[in-house]
Amino acid sequence: MYGWIWRHLPGNAWVKALVSLVLVLAVVYVLFQYVFPWAEPLLPFNDVTVDNQ
């Protein structure tokens, strides 16, 4: 999977490394901004009240 991505990135090794870094940061951003806030309420840490069960 990662090998396939690496082979399909344009430019020489330096450009590839830079592009992959940007890609990784983009994925982390999407995770923290959208995916994790959606997944976090599935964990029990939000249940602090006595009436919502």
Partner 1 sequence: MRVIVRSVSELCITLGTLIVLFVVYVLFWTGVRADGAMSDQIDRLHRQWSRGSVGQAGAAGGRPAAAAEPEPYRAGRAFAIMYIPRLGATWNKPVLEGTGRDVLAKGLAHYRGTARLGGRGNFAVAGHRRTYGDPFKDFPRLRRGDAVVLTDGTAWFTYRIDKGPYKTVPTDVEVIDPVPRTSGYTRPGRYLTLTTCDPEWGHSHRLIVWAHLDSTQPVEAGEPKALRR
Residues lying near partner 1 in the complex (CB under 8 A) are found at: 1-3, 28, 31-32, 36, 39-41, 43-53
Nearer to partner 1, 12 or 49 (CB): 49
Nearest to 40 by CA among 49, 31, 48, 51: 31
Give whichever of 12 and 53 is closer to partner 1, judged by the CB atom.
53
How many angstroms separate the CA atoms of 2 and 51, rounded? 47
Q: Which is nearer to partner 1, 12 or 52 (CB)?
A: 52
* Shortest Å distance, C-beta 46 to partner 1: 5
Residue whose token pair is 């995770």: 31
- Residue 53 is classified by DSSP as -
